[in-house]
Structure 1
Amino acid sequence: MTETHATAKYPPGRYGRRREPRPRRSWPVILVAAVVVLAGVAIAWRLFQQYGPQEYEPQVQRFSNITDDGINVEFVVRKDAEKEATCRVRARSASGEEVGLAEVDVPKGAEPVVSYRLATSDRPVTVEVPACGPRRSR
Structure 2
Amino acid sequence: MTETHATTTPGAPLFPPGRYGRRREPGRRRPWLTALLLAVVLAVLTVAAYRLYQRYGDPTYDAQVITYTDVTDTGILVDFQVTVPPGGSAVCVVRARSADGAEVAREEVPVSARPDERAVRVQHRLTTSARPFIGEVVRCRPPS
TM-score, with structure 1 as normaliser:
0.72
1:62 equivalenced with 2:67 (yes/no): yes
Is 2:47 the counterpart of 1:42? yes
Per the alignment, residue 121 of structure 1 pairs with 129
Post-superposition shift, 1:116? 1.6
2:110 is aligned, of 76, 100, 105, to 105
Pairing partner for 1:15 from 1, 6, 9: 9
Gapped regions of structure 2 (runs ≥ 5): 1-5, 13-24
CA gap 1:133/1:45 in 2 versus in 1, 3 angstroms:
closer
- Report how far residue 119 of structure 1 moved: 1.4
The 1:28/1:121 distance shift into structure 2, 3 A limit, reads same
Root-mean-square deviation (CA), in Å?
A: 2.8
Partner of residue 133 from structure 1, selected from 115, 135, 141: 141
2:78 corresponds to which residue?
A: 73
Q: C-alpha separation between the residues in 2 aligned to 1:121 and 1:55?
A: 32
Q: CA deviation at 1:124?
A: 0.2
Change (3 A) 1:135 1:46: closer
Percent same amino acid among aligned pairs? 41
Distance 2:34 2:106 in 1: 55
Per-residue displacement from partner, 1:73-106 (whole Å, max 9, x unpaired)?
1111111121122222111112222212223221
- Give the alignment of 1:80-99 within 5 angstroms: 80-99=85-104
Distance 1:25 1:32 in 2: 11
Between the aligned partners of 2:62 and 2:42, the Cα distance in structure 1 is 31
TM-score by length of 2: 0.69
